[in-house]
Every structure is written in C-alpha cells, then in structure tokens.
Amino acid sequence: MPPHPTLSDGSCLSPAQVQALEHIENDFRAAPELLQNIVRGMHKAMDLGLSKPDQTLAMLPSYIVGSATGNEKGRCLALDLGGTNFRVCEVLLLGQPGQYTMQQKKFKIPHTLKIAPATQLFSFIADGIHSFLEEFATPEERQGASCSAISLGFTFSFPVVQRALNYGELLQWNKGFTNPGAVGKDVVGLLQDALHTRGIEVTVTALLNDTVGALMACSYHYPNTVMGAILGTGSNTAYMERMSRITKFDPLAVTPGASAPKRQVCGEDEMVINMEWGAFDNEGDVIPYNRYDRMLDVNSTNPGCQMFEKRISGLYLGEIFRLAILDMVRLKLVFNGKISCALETPYVLDTSVISTIVDDASPDFCEGTPVVEEKLGLQFTCAADRYIVRRVATLVAYRSARFAGAALGAVVLRRDDRLARSTSEEPLTLGIDGSLYEHFTTFRENMVQSFRETVGEDNMTKLRIVLTKDGSGVGAAVAAIMNREGKCL
C-alpha cells in the first residue's frame, strides 16, 4: 500500500489516524508467505479429507466421473434450489461445445414453506415442475404419452452426503430453511415421491452442488476444465481429482435406493469432488484471525464454522468493514466520533457497497458517497473521513481477494499433472461464478494477481479463468445427460 497522500482538501491525516490505519493494515495483510502457507495448508487438508470422512474439508465425491466433452446432446430438465427462489429449466444441449438452448421459469418460495414439513416443500416444487411442463412440454409429454420419462438434474445448494449421482442424504439445512423431516433423508427420493404422487413423468437422475454445476457447465464449453468455483454469498469449489487419490471412496459400496454403478473405474479416472472449502482452516492453524474476524465469528449463527468463507465471501465482507469502521468511530478518528443506529446494526452493509466505494476511481468516490451516507445514516465531514472509509474498505476486500486467489491457485497446483499437459492453445480452465467475481472489479483483479503469484507467471499462459454463470441450469443438464450416457457412478 502506498503512503498516505495529502488529502483532497489539502489536509493531512492526524498521527492517531495514521497509527490506527497502520494497525488495520497489519490486521488485513496478505503477504506472499501467508499465501504460500494457504497453499500448503490447503493441500494437507485436501489429502486428509480425501482419506477419511468427517474432516475439516469434507471433499465430497460427486459420482461424476470425467468432465464433459462438449458433445453431450439431448434434452432434459434442470431444477435449482438454494435460496429465495427455485428455478425450473428445460435445457437442450446441441452436442457442440457451449451450444444449447434454454427456457426457464422462476418460483418464489414463501417463507412459510421454508419452515413447513419437508413433504410440503417438495410438493410445492413438484407443482412448479408441473406448471412448467404445462407451459413448455411437448403435447405427448403433457399427456404422459411419450415413451420415457423426462430426466432431471437437481442442483441443490445445501450440504449433502451423496452415495450415488441420484442419491444424497441431507446433512443440515441452512439459509433460512428448516423443513422438518428432511435431514438424514435422500433429497432425490423426497422430490421423486412428490413427483410420483402427482403422476408427473419426470425422473431425477442427477443431484449436484452448485460448484459441481459450475464445473460441468464450464467443461461443456471447454473440455479442459479442472475446477468450478463460487464467489458469491458464500464460497466453495469443486475440482477434478484422480480416483487413486480419493482413498476414502469405495465405488462398489452398495447404497439402498441408489441405482447400481453404471461403470467400472480405475485409478487414473477422475471424479469431481465438492471440496466444501468454506470450512478450510476452521482450526486457525494457517491463517491468523484478526480482532474483527473474531468479533464476526463470535456473533455469527455458526461460531467456529466456515472460517475461510467468513474471510472471503459476500455475506461477510460488508460486516467486517462495519466492525472496523465502528472501531475507528469509537476512537473518534472518523465521522467526528458520531455513532449512528445503522452503524451499530450487524450486517447493515451489503458487500456491493464495498465495491461501490473501492471500484470508484474518483478522489472522493462520488458514486459511493450517497450510498454510504444513506446506509450508515452518517454524513462525511471532511476529506479524511472519505479517505479512511475507502482505505478500510480497500484493505478488507484486498485480503479477501488475495486469499481467494491463493486458494484457487492451490487447487490448480494440486493438479500439476493436468497443468503440465496443458498448452496456451488448450489452456487448463477454471469456471467461476458469483457476484464478487463478476461485479467487483478490484476484487477480481487482486484475486487474479494473487492467483498469478501462487501458480507462477510461467503457468499463467496455460491457464484460463472463465465467468460461468449457468452452472445450476446447463451444468445440471450436462450431469443428467452424462449419466444417461453412462459416465457417472
């Protein structure tokens, strides 16, 4: 970070302000040695998670073997459940890399259904699928007269332990869903039962996490894809791992209710693994916690959990920033020491506010000013206020982007064999989805820079990062079609 300049009104920061900012800079440093530690720590945690169940990194097998070729062809449905809405899509893969058509319909999930018995939630979803088919199905399908059921890929963004591509037991709900009667049950079975009850001729053939969907969607465009990552409300990554290294996994284990394995696998085959990397370093052995990390964690709904996600994802960056600014206000170093009700309200600041401040290149962030003043219920009093606010926002986002880039680099380096075989003509590809990557320019640039430092300049020509927006639609369809083609377990 450069030294503090003379401010736009000709004033300078006071020694107390300089000292407080230095303290915060120290809190949010992300030096090269720390990035190296993240790589080493991540590799160790990946090995542990692949060898035994119940480790910090869950490293969940997806039952998808190999990546897409881009030649997948066919029509199926995709269902995306993971937040405020669920979405039903009809996807037609045209069998040419990246070529598809899609129609979709979104349904808002009323709050009452997020806490109702699980059968009611799944009935509501089945009704949505029915209403979608009424609109988009062929006449034969509508009358149930087509010769086979339509297959459906189900993107389900909650933690599940899968025992087959079409079988996954829910570990726990989150994001406001609490529907009793689902934890420990197979969510494919719950959905399939609701569809059967209504006589809907749809078979759920693939269940996948949104990161797995991102990977599959990206590999349909670019077959040399090795990972899919999400940098949005939360953060997580899926990547291709060699079967020989997934030592905890027994492909022949029989699962009640799941279809029989469709194929034999060998050690050289690769399976998509959902890392659940938000939990990386929950122990705190690798990345030091600063005072704001601790405050955020202690007051969170899941203390001690998702500690990496709490440093890098959209749900938390605005809150970390609020805690740091509140500290500065209490020391009377900004906003004339005036505390507003909003400033004391947890999670009052969305991470998009941080990007509005940081991405605005004007000296006093003209665009961000009204947003910050309105959200915090405070007026900037001088150039020093603006400078401090922007500096703190920049530091918080900088650390987060650097950590995310190092973690992405760690996963790529894990597959140094694939990297060695890649070329600048056919680069190894990473699909990334999520608003932080898509909309927060400074975050993206710092993340790519940290990724570059981690994998090494020479390797950058053999790597490509692609914004992959439709994992839950196209990715789910690709998985369902690959299953039809016998490429899954």
Is 464 an annotated catalytic residue?
no
Query: C-beta of 217: minimal distance to Mg ion in Å?
Result: 12
| Nearest residue (beta carbon) to ligand ADP | 232
Using CB under 5 A as the binding rule, whether residue 261 contacts Mg ion is answered as no
Is 157 an annotated catalytic residue?
yes
Query: C-beta of 475: minimal distance to ligand ADP in Å?
Result: 13
Strand (E) positions, 309-434? 428-433
Catalytic pick among 27, 80, 186, 210: 210
Stretch that binds ligand ADP, among 113-121, 146-154, 287-295, 428-436 (CB under 6 A): 428-436
Catalytic pick among 27, 67, 80, 87: 87
Applying the rule CB under 6 A, the residues between 308 and 367 that interact with ligand ADP are 314-315, 350-352, 355
- How far, in Å, CA of 427 to CA of 445, rounded? 20
In the shown chain, the binding pattern of residues 226 to 255 toward Mg ion, with x for contact by CB under 5 A and - for none, equals: ------x-----------------------
**Nearest to 170, CA basis, from 181, 157, 156, 184:** 184
What is the maximum span of the chain, computed from C-alpha positions, in angstroms?
79
Sequence-separated (6 or more) residues with CB below 8 Å from residue 294: none
Task: Decide: helix, strand or coil at residue 106.
Answer: strand
- How far, in Å, CA of 305 to CA of 284, rounded? 11
Enclosing H/E stretch for 384: helix 383-414
Query: C-beta of 322: minimal distance to ligand ADP in Å?
Result: 13
In the shown chain, the binding pattern of residues 64 to 103 toward ligand ADP, with x for contact by CB under 6 A and - for none, equals: -------------------x--------------------
Q: Name which position in 275, 436, 466, 482 contacts ligand ADP (CB under 6 A).
A: 436
Alpha helices in 75-117 (DSSP H): 111-115
- How far, in Å, CA of 337 to CA of 339, rounded? 6
Catalytic pick among 157, 300, 422, 450: 157
Applying the rule CB under 6 A, the residues between 246 and 265 that interact with ligand ADP are none
Q: Which amino acid is at 110?
A: P
Query: C-beta of 275: minimal distance to ligand ADP in Å?
Result: 16
Question: Looking at beta carbons only, is 270 or 309 nearer to ligand ADP?
Answer: 309
- How far, in Å, CA of 343 to CA of 347, rounded? 9
Strand (E) positions, 7-84? 60-65, 73-81
Choose the contact partner of 300 out of Mg ion, ligand ADP, none; CB within 5 to 8 A by kind. Answer: none
Applying the rule CB under 5 A, the residues between 107 and 126 that interact with Mg ion are none
Q: Name which position in 217, 440, 451, 489 contacts ligand ADP (CB under 6 A).
A: 440
Query: C-beta of 434: minimal distance to Mg ion in Å?
Result: 6
Question: Looking at beta carbons only, is 399 or 414 nearer to ligand ADP?
Answer: 399
- How far, in Å, CA of 109 to CA of 123, rounded? 12
Choose the contact partner of 321 out of ligand ADP, Mg ion, none; CB within 5 to 8 A by kind. Answer: none
**Paired sense of beta strands 85-94 and 428-433, if any:** unpaired
Q: What are phi and psi of 340, to 5 degrees?
A: -100, 165
Q: Name which position in 49, 153, 228, 232 contacts ligand ADP (CB under 6 A).
A: 232
Q: Name which position in 435, 452, 460, 485 contacts ligand ADP (CB under 6 A).
A: 435
Choose the contact partner of 97 out of ligand ADP, Mg ion, none; CB within 5 to 8 A by kind. Answer: none
Name the DSSP class of 237. Answer: E
Question: Looking at beta carbons only, is 7 or 216 nearer to Mg ion?
Answer: 216
CA 190 vs CA 86, 150, 157, 169: distances in Å: 16, 17, 16, 10
- How far, in Å, CA of 432 to CA of 467, rounded? 5
Residue positions counted in the chain = 489
Is 210 an annotated catalytic residue?
yes
Sequence-separated (6 or more) residues with CB below 8 Å from residue 97: 70, 71, 220, 221, 222, 223
**Nearest to 402, CA basis, from 4, 37, 3:** 37
**Paired sense of beta strands 160-164 and 167-170, if any:** antiparallel
Q: Which residues are catalytic?
A: 87, 157, 210
Binding site for Mg ion (CB under 5 A): 232
Binding site for ligand ADP (CB under 6 A): 83, 232-233, 314-315, 350-352, 355, 434-436, 439-440
